Amino acid sequence: MKRITFAKYDKPRIRHHSNPNVYLPLEQQKVELKGYPPVPEELPTDVLNGKQPTCLDIGCGMGKFMLEYALNNPQDIVLGLEVREIAVRYIKDIRDGEELHNADAMWYSVANGLPFIADNSIEKVFYFFADPWFKKRHVKRRAFSVELLREIGRVLTSDGVLYVMTDVPELDEYHREILAQEKWDVQEVQSDEQWGLGITTNQEHFSRLKDIPYTRLLCTPRTN
Ligand SMILES: C[S@@+](CC[C@H](N)C(=O)[O-])C[C@H]1O[C@@H](n2cnc3c(N)ncnc32)[C@H](O)[C@@H]1O
């Protein structure tokens, strides 16, 4: 597996969360919000230089996974979607430095669905270590929802897969409930071989270092 030396790049200081309103859809905003990411209907032409993605990394954070995945899978075209603009700039910096032509990140809130992604066009959707938003009144800020799962189902190809990981048991339960409600098939994976990605995310790397258990799910929409 090829790796990227992230220490070569200046890592910005970044807050854990953004303005709370960005986790809710644009149409629910009562006033025009400064700092709300654009919600385009089509993929902007400066993203991926007009190429269409084959993989999405939803909430890609600082991008370790999506960048190293793209490096090791040149046949795939990976788009990271991230609500914190500074993280997106950092990812683009590394992408340019490593001359990776099959990866890009976009400043975007998935609370608005995936309107710029065509039906049946994505082979893999990654959704890793979501923000937990533990308080009951904050659950609506979680990116994973029935609406988002339907959008993921719409954009996945017929043999496409949604990969989900979390180290928060409450969130794992929440994901499984939504997946069951929407009648998705879910397979919990124990071994790295079965998982098949070979690359860890920033958060997964941390969980491994600290021996924090986490669950890995392979999810596919049920066809019958
Ligand atoms: C805990 S981090 C995990 C980052 C990365 N996936 C990993 O495993 O290391 C969760 C990420 O999801 C992003 N995020 C949360 N809600 C989002 C939303 N509505 N749209 C896009 N990104 C979102 C956060 O900004 C954060 O970077």
- Which one of the listed residues 76, 93, 131, 167 is annotated catalytic? 131
CA of residue 27 to ligand 1 center, whole Å:
21
CA of residue 181 to ligand 1 center, whole Å:
23
**Cβ–ligand 1 contact at 201 (below 6 Å):** yes
CA of residue 61 to ligand 1 center, whole Å:
5
> For the residues 53-59, what does the mean pLDDT come to?
98
Whether residue 185 has pLDDT greater than 80: yes
CA of residue 83 to ligand 1 center, whole Å:
7
Residue identifier of the C-alpha nearest atom 10 of ligand 1 = 130
> For the residues 108-114, what does the mean pLDDT come to?
98
Domains along the chain?
50-221 (3.40.50.150)
Mean pLDDT for the chain? 95
Residue identifier of the C-alpha nearest atom 18 of ligand 1 = 109
205 Cα nearest atom in ligand 1: 9
> For the residues 74-81, what does the mean pLDDT come to?
98
> For the residues 179-198, what does the mean pLDDT come to?
97
Summarised one tens digit per residue, pLDDT across range 24-49 is: 999 988 877 788 999 999 999 999 99
What pLDDT shows up at residue 15? 79
What pLDDT shows up at residue 20? 85
Whether residue 61 has pLDDT greater than 90: yes
Position 51, amino acid: K
Question: Catalytic site residue 10?
Answer: no
Percent of the chain scoring above 90 in pLDDT: 90
What pLDDT shows up at residue 35? 86
Query: Do 156 and 119 contact (CB within 8 A), yes or no?
Result: no
**Cβ–ligand 1 contact at 162 (below 6 Å):** no
Percent of the chain scoring above 70 in pLDDT: 100
**Cβ–ligand 1 contact at 168 (below 6 Å):** no
Compare 21 and 72 and report the one with higher pLDDT.
Answer: 72
> For the residues 196-211, what does the mean pLDDT come to?
96
What pLDDT shows up at residue 224? 65
Compare 92 and 15 and report the one with higher pLDDT.
Answer: 92
How far does the chain reach from its first CA to its final CA, in angstroms?
37
Query: Do 148 and 110 contact (CB within 8 A), yes or no?
Result: yes
**Cβ–ligand 1 contact at 98 (below 6 Å):** no
**Cβ–ligand 1 contact at 166 (below 6 Å):** no
**Cβ–ligand 1 contact at 84 (below 6 Å):** yes
CA of residue 26 to ligand 1 center, whole Å:
18
Query: Do 171 and 141 contact (CB within 8 A), yes or no?
Result: no
- For the entire predicted model, the pTM comes to 0.96
State the Cα–Cα distance between residues 215 and 174, nearest whole angstrom.
Answer: 13
What pLDDT shows up at residue 13? 87
Summarised one tens digit per residue, pLDDT across range 78-107 is: 999 999 999 999 999 999 999 999 999 999
Q: Over the range 174-185, which residues count as b (16 or more CB within 10 Å of their CB) and which as e?
A: bbbebbeeeebe
